[in-house]
Chain A
Amino acid sequence: EVQLLESGGGLVKPGGSLRLSCAASGFTFSTYSMNWVRQAPGKGLEWVSSITSSSRDIQYGHSVKGRFTISRDNARNLLFLQMNSLRAEDTALYYCARVMGKGTYFDLWGQGTMVAVSS
């Protein structure tokens, strides 16, 4: 079955760190660009970060640039998001999403992992 499964979420104090993982299965992970998208409680979706299939090109949204790092391990079919200097406003459900269509849209989503930043 083609799927994405996120893990690694939890409760962390402001200023703390957390590493999210996304396990891909059922498709050739190494050939797809991947993204992280988040959703704060009761709010809309927000694009967080993208990484190309070879990790050559990486982008971040304004709100996380300099604090978050995206990476991937194609040998293990894993996508990561290292989150440092966490703030209360980073509290959200974090989805990983596969990119399709010449890299222009998201065609496969995980179920998300929740990150709560609170003292």
Chain B
Amino acid sequence: EVQLVESGGDLVQPGRSLRLSCTTSGFTFSDYAINWVRQAPGKGLEWVGLIRSTPYRGTTEYATSVEGRFIISRDDSAGIASLQMNGLKAEDTAVYYCARGYGAYKYWGQGTLVTVSS
């Protein structure tokens, strides 16, 4: 069974950093891209970024709103993707989901809440 589980969400002050993890099982992790999608409270979905699969060199892409502040990485041996969030702003407050794939996201995690507030 394919599973993705996010962790690491927390209350953090503006300007600080936080690292989220997406722990996976049930599939060959290195064969798949992992995306991060977020949802601010009461708002719609926003694509944050992706890391390509290892055959595609694990390169990354980001939304304009987070480029230069967020970094996505992957550990194929552990089946974990990470989202390093630096310079956090109040507008980064959201539930963060990881999702598998390049286009259509059939598999998602349950989400982890990040709250940026002083």
Do these two chains really belong together in a complex? no
Report A's interface with B, CB cutoff 8 A.
Answer: none
